[in-house]
Amino acid sequence: MKRKLKLRMRLAACFALSVATLSANAQSDPFGRSFSKPIGAAAPPAVQYIFPEQINVPAGKPTPVALHFRISSGLHINSNTPRDEYLIPTTFSIPDGAGVELKDAAYPPGSDFTLPIDPKTKLSVYTGEFTIQVHIVATPGNHLVEGKLHFQACDRNQCMPPKTIPVAIDVIAK
């Protein structure tokens, strides 16, 4: 009889823990999205391209351009030089045939970041706002360039799938 009572108490405790976990997860997930939002309400993007939107450059000459990005609060992305080869680096690119060529890109140094589950391992990441300094060369004319920023966003517990966002720049080269 005591054995059955102990088993019932354990099952009740497990059930209560499961219900509490489901209730907590029904309100938000690890990326801070709330499931109580109306259907169709989008979560904020992990990374946003801030500016510039339009630039004037001398045609045929390498020109520096600063590209500004913002990472959502509570998230980080790997720097351009992550410390482990299996981590996905943040990269910027411009497609061939855009009338604008990417000569080089200088990425900011990453900040050290330690996960609570592995305090011995330090990651090199970006958080908050960061700027990539690029040099471009444009042919004469007006070019609507759709560059690409490739990254993987993570929080303290898990990572989202890698993503590529458009970086639209209107380049006017004279």
Task: Look at residue 52 in the predicted model and tell me its pLDDT.
Answer: 80
Q: What's this model's pTM, rounded to 2 decimal places? A: 0.74
Cα gap 92→164, rounded to integer Å: 9
Fold held by 47-173? Immunoglobulin-like (2.60.40)
Does pLDDT of 49 surpass 90?
yes
* Cβ–Cβ < 8 Å for 104, 65: no
Cα gap 106→35, rounded to integer Å: 39
* Cβ–Cβ < 8 Å for 150, 162: yes
What residue ranges do the domains of the chain occupy?
Answer: 1-42, 47-173
Q: How confident is the model at residue 153 (pLDDT cuts 50, 70, 90)?
A: very high
Mean pLDDT, the chain, rounded, equals 82
The arithmetic mean of pLDDT across residues 127-142, rounded, is 98
